[in-house]
Amino acid sequence: MHRQKKQGLSTTAIHAGYHSDPQTGALATPIYQTSTFVFSSTEEGAKRFSGEEAGYIYSRLGNPTITVLEEKMAALEKAEAGLAFASGMAAVSSILMALVRTGDHILGTKGLYGCTYGLLTLMKDRFAVNYSLCDMTDEDSIRQMLQPTTRVIYVETPINPTMELVDLKLVVKIAKEIDAYVVVDNTFMSPYLQRPIEYGCDIVIHSATKFIGGHGDVIAGVAVGPKSIMDSIRMTTQKDMGGILAPFDAYLLIRGLKTLGVRMDRHCENGQRVAEFLHNHPKVAIVHYPGLPHFPQYELACEQMDGFGGLLAFELEGGMEAGIRMMNNVRLCKRAVSLGDVDSLIQHPASMTHSVIPAEERWKMGITDGLIRLSVGIEDVEDIIDDLDAALSFA
């Protein structure tokens, strides 16, 4: 008896969720650019609204193009179901609002993305949902920060922008003891390099703007997890808060996913080369990149991830002023926030992505005023290195 081999991730990214249009044979996923759907009868409409019959009603509740994206992402992350959102923060806010109630506690990794930090602050001030930020590299530190009301452990790994890792197996073990959800922001890695569901995490979130799209032309978010939870969120916080992805944007993400594997391989290859160059440069004080053997969590990176990605951070010997001079003299690398594009992007977290976080809190997170984050693109790596080398001469 022939046993079918396990399908590879690149094959899944290309083929999952869609097998050509049955009526036209269209190879590319059609864009169903419609706000609403016609029922063949009043009875059919009633059955769809009651959930008795499957089918589309209104694009805020579901759309065929968006369904393909959701199914692809669920297949890639090895989850049961997915949900697409209008932005990464729409995904984060809808998921967290669905999982917690007034009086609950969220334990998050220190160094959270600035807007996620802002959301947690808002939830605490407006709705009395408490939160704490924790160094999750150490089991004792996690346990000390737990509260009787901890409902969610929210993880970014690698952490933005210090690239610090969180041991997912450890977090899942602790969460199961207290019956808490583990929610992981997997934006930095993509499912091509890391799949938290395989370690027992409950929900995975992506800013699909980044590596999933990959071309800097769409804003979107995706969440995947158990079907029961995703179905509930679809009909509650997603529907009622309304952060819904447009069909055309879903089409762009589907197209981007078809090259996810080749792009991530190049991001990893270039990221490693650039990190090694910076590590050996006399004006660079330290490089934060999981693929460098001296990285404190190098062994965990090798165990938990299938590659080291294209994100890194570094500090210059001359500190903040040297960093500004260096950034102002790049030519190929673009001074821009975001990450995961085919273009190399360079930014200053303290004044840009993490500026909403108070300085003292940032410093505790390891985000110094002189830290620079680089999203290494897929250009010819020698051109990236030449650009950085020339800019560093001004540092």
> What is the per-residue pLDDT across 69-91, written as a single tens digit (0 to 9) for each?
999 999 999 999 999 999 999 99
Range of weakest confidence among 15-29, 108-122, 197-211, 280-294: 15-29
pLDDT higher than threshold 70 for residue 155? yes
pLDDT at residue 3 is higher than 90: no
- Please enumerate, as own/partner, the contacts of 78-82 that have beta carbons within 8 Å and a separation of 24 or more: 78/195, 78/197, 78/198, 79/197, 79/204, 79/224, 79/225, 79/226, 80/224, 80/225, 80/226, 80/227, 80/230, 81/224, 81/225, 81/226, 81/227, 81/230, 81/231, 82/222, 82/223, 82/224, 82/230
Same domain, 186 and 149: yes
Q: Is residue 177 part of a domain?
A: yes
Residue 4 lies in a domain: no
Looking at residues 155-165, what average pLDDT do you find?
93
Active site (annotated) includes residue 181: no
User: pLDDT at position 78, please?
Assistant: 97
Q: What is the pLDDT of residue 362?
A: 80
Q: Is residue 265 part of a domain?
A: yes
Q: How many domains does the chain have?
A: 2
Residue whose entry in the numeric block shows the structure tokens 């190879």: 27
Measured CA to CA, the distance from residue 22 to residue 91 in angstroms comes to 32
Pair 31, 160 in one domain: yes
The answer as to whether 388 is a domain residue is yes
- Under the banding of pLDDT at 50, 70 and 90, the label for residue 394 is very high
Give the pLDDT confidence score for residue 52 in this predicted structure. Answer: 92
The confidence score (pLDDT) of residue 281 equals: 96
The rounded percent of the chain whose pLDDT value lies above 70 is 99
- Helix axis angle, 381-392 relative to 319-327, nearest 10°? 130
> Considering 104, 135, 167, 185, which one is annotated as catalytic?
185
Examine the residue annotation and report whether 113 is marked as an active-site residue of this protein: yes
Same-domain check for residues 225 and 291: no
Q: Tell me the mean pLDDT in the region 378-382.
A: 98
- 18-22, 269-273, 294-298: range with lowest mean pLDDT: 18-22
Question: Given a cut of 60, is residue 2 above it in pLDDT?
Answer: no
Confidence band for 360, pLDDT divided at 50, 70 and 90? confident
Asked whether residue 156 falls in the same domain as residue 226, the answer is yes
Segment 188-193 shows an average pLDDT of: 98
* Domain shared by 200 and 293, yes or no: no
Do residues 292 and 298 touch, judged by C-beta distance below 8 A?
Answer: yes
Between 16-20, 40-44, 280-284, 327-331, the lowest mean confidence (pLDDT) is in: 16-20
| Domain-located, residue 3 | no
Structure confidence at residue 34 (pLDDT): 97
Q: Is the pLDDT of residue 309 over 50?
A: yes
Per cent of the chain over pLDDT 90 is 84
Does residue 326 lie within any of the structural domains?
Answer: yes
Among this protein's residues, is 387 annotated catalytic? no
Look up the domain containing 65 and give its range: 9-257
Q: Determine which one of 47, 60, 283, 364 is catalytic.
A: 60
Q: What is the CATH number of the domain that holds 172?
A: 3.40.640.10
In a domain, 65, yes or no: yes
pTM score, whole prediction: 0.94
Judge if 232 and 297 occupy the same domain. no
Catalytic residue among 48, 110, 210, 263: 210
Check if 185 is active-site: yes
Mean pLDDT in residue range 242-267: 97
- Split at pLDDT 50, 70, 90, the class of 157 is very high
Stronger pLDDT, 24 or 299, i.e. the higher one: 299
Q: In the prediction, which pLDDT does 5 show?
A: 61
Do 20 and 68 lie in one domain? The reply is yes
pLDDT band at 352 (very low <50, low <70, confident <90, very high): confident
Q: Which of 18, 32, 113, 251 is catalytic?
A: 113
pLDDT score recorded for residue 1: 44
